[in-house]
Structure formats: C-alpha cells, structure tokens
Structure 1
Amino acid sequence: MKTAFLLATALAFAPMAARAADDHAPLRFVLIPKTVHPWFDKVNTGAQAAADLLGKTTGRKVEIEYRAPETADVSSQNDIIERAIATHPDGLILDLLDEKGNHATMLEAVDEKVPMTVFDSLPPEGMDITAVGADFCEQGTIAAQRLAGLIGEKGEVAIMIGVPTAPNHTRRAECERATFARYPQIKVVATGIDNDSIETAQKQASAIMQAHPDLAGWVACDAAGPVGIGQAIRESGRTGKVREVGLDNLNDMIALIRDGVADSSASSRPEMQGYWAVIAAWQRALGQKTPKYIDTGIDVLTKKNI
C-alpha cells in the first residue's frame, strides 16, 4: 500500500506536458540483459512485478519486452539495442556488456530521443542515465574478506572473472584483488574467464585446480562463475578442502551452500534491480528527473539464512 501511494504521488507531480501527450496509451519498455541467463530471468521477474503494480496503480498499461542475446557478445547486444530503438519504445533498460563497445549504439538512442536506464552496470561517462544496482566493489570485497577468514588469512586463491569487458565484473575483480593484497600470506595464483557461462566456469575451475593442487579457495565476479566453480569442486572430491564464496542468488548457488560445497554468497538482489529499473524508466518516460544511482543493496546468503 505504501509503495502504491508513493507511485500515485509521483504520478500526480509528473510534468503536465508529458502527461498530456496521451496518459492512457500503454507504455512499452525493452529490457536487454547481457545474455540468456537464470540471473536475468530473476531481473525480468522483478521488472514484470513493477509493471503490474504500475498498471494497477495508474490505470495505464506498462509492457516489458524482454530481449536477451543468446551469448555474451557485444555486437549481438548492440544489434538487439538498435532493433529496439527502431521500434521507438518509451524506454530501454540495459545491462551493458562493454561500456565503450555499447556507447555508439546508446548515442543512437539519444538521437532518437529514447530514454535509457541501466542496471547491474554503469553508464558511459557523461551520459545522463540512471544506474540501478549494488555497489560492485562492496560486493567483491565482502566475498574476498569472507574467503580470507575461511582459509585463515593464508594460502593460494583464484578469481573467476565473468565477461572481461563488463564494468561490474571488472570492478568486482579489482576490489577482490585489492582485498587479498591486504593479507601478506594470501596469493592470487590464477584467474579464469567464464563469459557468464556455467559450463565454461566449470571447465576453467577444473583446469585451474589441477594446475594448482594447493589452491585454498575461490571467489567469482559474476553469477555463473561460482556455480561452475562449485560443480568443479564437487566433481574433484575437494568439498571442504577448497573453500568458495560465491555471488548472487541463483537456485544452483543456494543448493551449493545448502550442500556445504560453498560457504556463502554475496547477492546483488536481481529481482529488486529489475523492479527499480522499471520504476526509473517509467519516471523518465513521464519526463521526470531520476536519481543518478539507485543502490539495491547486498544480501549475504549463508547456510543459516537461505
């Protein structure tokens, strides 16, 4: 009820020119994630929930079109963005694969006067776009600090990077490295790149553990990475010997925690990111100013609270 009241109040103060255009026609937003992935399904769930609430509260239908690239490929994502722009939606909701690689396509949206909101990412410098998500550095730091405690602040560790060009993935990796650097007896001996693929993460983790038999623990920078790492730990019979702190709240990640393969996970609340990305996009479509950043916070998932 409180949320509905706030939304109704925001609508009442929307600029008259924007509302006068046609306040009964449906609003259509195109949601474009990095790739097909269970984490983005959760984002879409939150987005659809926000659209339903806005429709019930305002009486104006809000439609979410979900268009995901089959793989984490910048050119494929740009193609989807360009085709979405051609349909003149009321807004684009994007998770950028590459801040620089996506920039030119985003400028096309600006030229066509299509508002944009980004989630789980950061907009290119100088662009007036609301970003929705958790503090990536804080999330990576939480994971690295928990792992350091689990291994007694000493030993060999590895980092699984997701998509190397993705600003959120690289920022988490930077902060994980910086955290480990504060412990003189911890050494980062390897990094894997999974490109947001659980299967790739599993193969990379298996190869790294074979090359480093004394490896003490793992952290990751994306949602797919820790699931693949957990699978590799279980398959190698090293549960309890190689410790893992994951990211996010995929069902497979929760199962790994419940089974004792992973200790915990720092979750960036994907459902909430989808929800507030739609709210911000809706406000932009009405001509309202929106915040520079909406921090959705971080949940630390453990066996005790999952």
Structure 2
Amino acid sequence: MKSALFLTALLVGAPVAAHAADSNAPLRFVLIPKVVHPWFDKVNSGAQEAAVSLSKITGRQISVEYRAPQAADVSSQNDIIERAISTHPDGLILDLLDEKGNRATMEEAVDEKVPMTIFDSVAPEGMNITAVGADFCQQGTMAAERLAKLINNKGEVAIMMGVPTAPNHAIRAKCEQAVFAKYKDIKVVATGIDNDSIETGQKQASAIMQAHPNLAGWVACDAAGPVGIGQAIRESGKTGKVQEVGLDNLNDMIQLIKEGVAESSASSRPEMQGYWSVISAWQQAIGQKTPKYIDTGIDLITKQTL
C-alpha cells in the first residue's frame, strides 16, 4: 500500500514527456542478472512488484522479463543481452559480470536506442547510465571492520572474492583488504574465487581452512560465497572457532546466523534494487530524466536484528 501511494505521488509530481503521456501501449523491460541465483530471485521479486504497482497506477501494462545466465560467464550474458536487444524492449536492466567485457554489447544497446539501467554494479566509464545499488565499499568495509573486532584485531583471515571481474565484487574486495591492512596483527592468508556459486564457495573454503588451520575468520564479496563458507565451517566442526561476517540476506545466510555459524551479514537489499531499477526503467521509457545513482542502503543482519 505504501509503495502504491508513493508511486502515485511520483506519477502526479513528475514531468512526463508529451508523447509518453498520450500513449497507452504496453511497456516491456528485460532484467538480466549475473547468473541463476537465489539473490537475483529476490531482485526479480522486487522488480515484479514494481511492475504490478505501476500497471495498476498508470493503467498501462508493464511487464518485466527475467532472463538469467545459467553460469557466471560474460559470453553467455552478452548473448542474452544481444538477443534481448533484438526484440527491441522498452528498457534493459543489467547486472554486469565484467565492465570491459560487457561494454561492446551495451554500446550496441545505445546504438539501437534501448535505454539501460544498471543494478548491483557501476556503469562503465563514460557511459551515462543510472545505477541502482548500495555503496559497495561501505558494505565491504562494514563486514571487514566487524570481523576485525570479532577476532580482537589479530589473526589470519581469508576473503572469498566472488567473480573478480564483477565491478561490485572487486570494489568490496579492495575495501575489505584496505581495512585489514590497517591492523598490523591481521594477515590475509588466502583468497578464494567462488564465481557466485555456493557449492564452489564451500569447496574453496574447505580447502583454504585445511591449508590454514589457524584461520581466525572470513569475509566475502558476493552473496553465494558466505553461504558456502558457513557450510564449510559447520561441516569442519569449526563453528565458534572460525568467525564469519557474511553478505546479503539469502535464507541460507540468515539460517547460518540463527545457528551461530556466522555472526552477522551486511545486506544490500536485493528486493529494493529490483524495485527501483524498474522505476528507473519506466521513467526513462516515458521520457523522464533519471538520477545518476540510486542508493538502496545496507542492512546489518544479526541474531538481535532478526
């Protein structure tokens, strides 16, 4: 109800282009995430909610097609983007796997005059595209500082890097490393790469903990990694011995916090990212200007806040 009221106010107060105001034609947006993943299911849920609300308020049919790559592979993602462009949607909503690797395909969308909105990422340099998401450096810093406090600012730590080419994952990793560099008694002894796969994250975490039996704690750079880390901690019998601060609000992550396997998680609100990405895409489709960046904020999830 609150969302509908807000959108009504937004619609009434916003300057709408004349051609858009006169048109009742359906609007179709294509949402393309990094990979098939429960985190992106939450993004899609928020996107579909926005589409339903906008349809009710405007009286115009607005739909969101969700097309996810089966693996976190930039070639596969580019192929999906290119096929989406060929259908001439009213907007693309993208989460980039590789800023450089995705650029040529995005420039194709520009040439075809298909508007774009980026979520959970940053726009490639020189491309004027609205980005929706959290402050990724703040999120990584929050997790790393919390872990440092848990281990009394000393000990061996590891970082699960996610997809290293993904802009948001790379930003989080850089900022986490910067936090640990401040503490002379904290040493980053290993980094894993999970490629946004829980199973891969679990295998990587298990191998790293075997190689580093004195490991004190973990942080991650994506949503899949911390779930895999938590499963590895639980299965190795190191709950309470190896600390973990995770990312995001997957149900499995929340369960790990409830069990005490992970101490907390810094969540970037995926449902809100999907919701506001559709709002941005709709505004562009009806001829409105959109902001450069929409910050959806970060939640700290602990047993207490649950």
TM-score range, shorter chain: over 0.9
Q: Structure 1, residues 81-109: CA drift from partner, whole Å, max 9, x if none?
A: 00000000000000000000000000000
Q: Aligned runs of 1:93-172 on 2, under 5 Å?
A: 93-172=93-172
Q: Structure 1, residues 238-295: CA drift from partner, whole Å, max 9, x if none?
A: 0000000000000000000000000000000000000000000000001111000000
> Partners of 1:140 and 1:47 in 2: how far apart?
25
Q: Aligned runs of 1:85-100 on 2, under 5 Å?
A: 85-100=85-100
Is 1:7 the counterpart of 2:15? The answer is no
Return the letter of the residue paired with 2:277.
Answer: A
1:10 Cα offset (Å): 4.5
> Partners of 2:13 and 2:151 in 1: how far apart?
49
Q: Counterpart of 1:246 in 2: which secondary structure?
A: strand
Identity across matched positions, percent: 77
Return the letter of the residue paired with 1:171.
Answer: I
Q: Aligned runs of 1:1-306 on 2, under 5 Å?
A: 1=2, 2-10=5-13, 13-20=15-22, 23-306=23-306
> Partners of 1:5 and 1:46 in 2: how far apart?
18
Stretches of structure 2 lacking an aligned partner (at least 5 in a row)? none
RMSD (Å), alpha carbons:
0.8
1:8 Cα offset (Å): 2.2
Structure 1 stretches (4+) deviating beyond 4 angstroms? none
Return the letter of the residue paired with 2:11.
Answer: A
TM-score normalized with structure 1 length:
0.98
> Partners of 1:60 and 1:19 in 2: how far apart?
11
> Partners of 1:135 and 1:188 in 2: how far apart?
23
> Partners of 1:109 and 1:6 in 2: how far apart?
31
> Partners of 1:58 and 1:15 in 2: how far apart?
14
**CA 1:302 to 1:32, structure 2 compared with 1: closer, same or farther past 3 Å?**
same
Q: Structure 1, residues 73-132: CA drift from partner, whole Å, max 9, x if none?
A: 000000000000000000000000000000000000000000000000011111110000
> Partners of 2:164 and 2:300 in 1: how far apart?
24
> Partners of 1:199 and 1:210 in 2: how far apart?
17
> Partners of 2:148 and 2:13 in 1: how far apart?
45
Q: Counterpart of 2:158 in 1: which secondary structure?
A: strand
1:62 Cα offset (Å): 0.6
> Partners of 1:122 and 1:229 in 2: how far apart?
26
Stretches of structure 1 lacking an aligned partner (at least 5 in a row)? none
Return the letter of the residue paired with 1:219.
Answer: V
Conservation of the 8 A alpha-carbon contact between 1:7 and 1:54: no
TM-score normalized with structure 2 length:
0.98
1:17 Cα offset (Å): 2.8
> Partners of 2:210 and 2:127 in 1: how far apart?
45
Q: Counterpart of 2:99 in 1: which secondary structure?
A: coil
